[in-house]
Amino acid sequence: MKPASFEYHRATTVSEALTFVNELGEDAKFIAGGQSLVPMMNFRLARPTALIDIMHIPKLNSIYRDGDSLIVGALTRHRTLELTTDASVVEGFALLSSAARWIGHTPIRTRGTIGGSLVHADASAEWCMMARLFDAQMTLEGPRGRRTVSSGDWFQGMFSTAADFNELLVEIQFISPRRYGALAEFARRHGDFALAAVAVAFDVVDDRLCNVGIVIGGVEGIPVRASEAETLLEGASLGAVDVEGAARSAAAGVEPMESEPGEAAYRRHLVDTLTRRAIHDALATRVQ
Amino acid sequence: MSESCEITLTVNGVRHQVSVEPRRTLADVLRIDLGLTGTHVGCEHGICGACTVLMDDQPVRACLVFGVQADGSSIRTVEGLAANGELTDLQQAFSRHHALQCGFCTPGFLMLAEGYLAETPAPDRVAVREMVSANLCRCTGYQGIVDAIVDVAEQRFHERPI
Ligand SMILES: Cc1cc2nc3c(=O)[nH]c(=O)nc-3n(C[C@H](O)[C@H](O)[C@H](O)COP(=O)(O)OP(=O)(O)OC[C@H]3O[C@@H](n4cnc5c(N)ncnc54)[C@H](O)[C@@H]3O)c2cc1C
Ligand code: FES
Ligand code: FES
């Protein structure tokens, strides 16, 4: 289908984008890569009266290291993150590059942005999971000035975040590097949004796991941490990691969505399987 | 109806100035305003890849970019491949390997492969399979498409200037 009509405005600075949204009001929308918004407009699930194109704000397209943190501009393309593997930049965040490869397909990744993904807030989106896993801090600019929201407060429900309509997500700061990690997903077709996905990351000190993070995506309305399973693995010695126990605990802890009968049970089963797989794969990255 | 915007696109090396409604997708600007109907439109939501073109050398879904967003960019479409009636090596390989039957998906696959091979000169078969999974073909079963792309990749690799 074809989208309904709208006005188009191109912003080249953050303040210009904020001025536009201030003038145009709640029925206007920012457009970044358009890879979620345009399909919704083509289906007429979204009918913004105006689009404010933010893709031409050069300063929001950046990746850099600041001490332990990795700072990513909101307009950084999925494809750029996929191709950023330089250890001096992504050390402790190597999983981001492999996670990017799960996002749709190359022609989607050349346009779609990390900021758009986080604001769209699909519960199975790879960036939403990575934000939870690496404790991202989202920086917004808006009429209230600049504020930062932690990933724990960012996701407020299905497709809903802490960002107000007139706030622009400018930067994402990943603050908890972890040496080892893996992402396991299941989707019916390659490149589709996952029916369930599990991401795991940890460090190893004195042959024991520490800073264990486990995130489950696509199962509840927002990506969730499997805190009991994390506790179970914390401090485990490498020779005796209770993978089965952690997987069982992760699966028991979720409250899966059900859009078709039987889907909740199936998703729970997937969480068990994918948690095992992700832990095994993360341990294997250590051996390499 | 909202006001039209003047945009400039360089398509296959030729500059065009067109006046378009903001809601017109790049795929429709190419097809309707510029008469370049080689770019096909299937699903209009990013799934099928029939509309794949190169925008500043990167493969994109032309149904998921509005023409106004593409203002100032350089676009390559399937019409820009063959020159003087002579098919490119990639097009010839598609023909040789029976990489098309109805041909609806072909412009998208050609542009996807063209963009990919420019970035990845010596891909293995597995990587090519992964890459073509971006687009849908309902006829060929992909075998011929993969064969054609692998063949051209090898050919170009051996003939590359050293
Ligand atoms: C075929 C297909 C398959 C896909 N598969 C996956 C997948 O497997 N995993 C996955 O994670 N995603 C997938 N996607 C979605 C893709 O990752 C999108 O790129 C992403 O969800 C949105 O990013 P965008 O830059 O395209 O945002 P847009 O579509 O431009 O915007 C999305 C929303 O965010 C708002 N917005 C965008 N940027 C900002 C900002 N900086 N500040 C405030 N608001 C902003 C917009 O107003 C809009 O509401 C797929 C898309 C397609 C078409
Ligand atoms: S028409 Fe663009 S992806 Fe199907
Ligand atoms: S040749 Fe018919 S869809 Fe591919």
Interface contact B109, partner A, CB < 8 A: no
Instruction: Give the pLDDT band of residue A262 (cuts 50, 70, 90).
Output: confident
Q: Quick one: A147 and A83 in the same domain?
A: yes
- Asked whether residue A1 is assigned to any structural domain, the reply reads no
- B134 contacts A191? CB cut-off 8 A: yes
Interface contact A42, partner B, CB < 8 A: yes
CA distances to A96, A122, A182 from A170, rounded to whole Å, are 19, 19, 27
pLDDT at A79 over 90: yes
Nearest to A205 by CA among A235, A230, A176: A235
pLDDT at A288 over 60: no
- What CATH number did the domain enclosing A187 receive? 3.30.390.50
The count of domains in chain A is 3
The pLDDT assigned to B161 comes to 80
The partner residue sitting opposite A55, judged by closest CB among B49, B52, B69, is B69
Query: Phi first, then psi: what are they for A78, rounded to 5°?
Result: -55, -40
Instruction: Give the pLDDT band of residue A188 (cuts 50, 70, 90).
Output: confident
The pLDDT assigned to B88 comes to 97
Interface contact B32, partner A, CB < 8 A: no
Per-residue pLDDT tens digits for B128-156: 999 999 999 999 999 999 999 999 999 99
Residue A35 to chain B, least CA–CA distance (Å): 6
The pLDDT assigned to A259 comes to 82
- A42 contacts B63? CB cut-off 8 A: yes
What is the spatial distance between Cα A209 and Cα A262, in angstroms, rounded to a whole number?
Answer: 35
The pLDDT assigned to A107 comes to 97
Cβ(B51) to ligand 2 under 6 A? Answer: yes
Domain's final residue, options A123, A145, A174: A174
- What CATH number did the domain enclosing A41 receive? 3.30.43.10
Domain's final residue, options A132, A157, A174: A174
Nearest atom (ligand 1) to Cα of A119: 34
The pLDDT assigned to B156 comes to 92
- B65 contacts A111? CB cut-off 8 A: yes
pLDDT at B1 over 80: no
The pLDDT assigned to A166 comes to 97
- Asked whether residue A2 is assigned to any structural domain, the reply reads no
Interval B2-25 mean pLDDT: 96
Instruction: Give the pLDDT band of residue A285 (cuts 50, 70, 90).
Output: confident
Q: What is the ipTM of this complex?
A: 0.95
Cβ(B63) to ligand 2 under 6 A? Answer: yes
Interface contact B103, partner A, CB < 8 A: no
- B68 contacts A53? CB cut-off 8 A: yes
Looking at the whole model, is its pTM more than 0.95?
yes
Q: How far is the CA of A171 from the centre of ligand 2 (A)?
A: 30
Q: How far is the CA of B44 from the centre of ligand 2 (A)?
A: 4
Instruction: Give the pLDDT band of residue A235 (cuts 50, 70, 90).
Output: very high
Nearest atom (ligand 3) to Cα of B101: 1
pLDDT at B105 over 70: yes
Q: Domains plus CATH for chain B?
A: 5-80 (3.10.20.30), 89-159 (1.10.150.120)
Ligand closest to the CA atom of residue A191: 1
Per-residue tokens: A61:
């397209």
Query: Phi first, then psi: what are they for A172, rounded to 5°?
Result: -125, 125
Per-residue pLDDT tens digits for B32-45: 999 999 999 999 99
Contacts for A15 with CB less than 8 Å, ≥ 6 apart:
none
The pLDDT assigned to A77 comes to 98
Nearest atom (ligand 1) to Cα of A31: 30
Interface contact A11, partner B, CB < 8 A: no
Per-residue pLDDT tens digits for A91-113: 999 999 999 999 999 999 999 99
Looking at residue A193, the DSSP 8-state letter turns out to be P
Ligand closest to the CA atom of residue B106: 3
Per-residue pLDDT tens digits for A113-171: 999 999 999 999 999 999 999 999 999 999 989 999 999 999 999 999 999 999 999 99
Interval A249-262 mean pLDDT: 91
Looking at residue B33, the DSSP 8-state letter turns out to be I
- Asked whether residue A159 is assigned to any structural domain, the reply reads yes
Q: Quick one: A192 and A242 in the same domain?
A: yes
State the residue range of the domain holding A76.
59-174
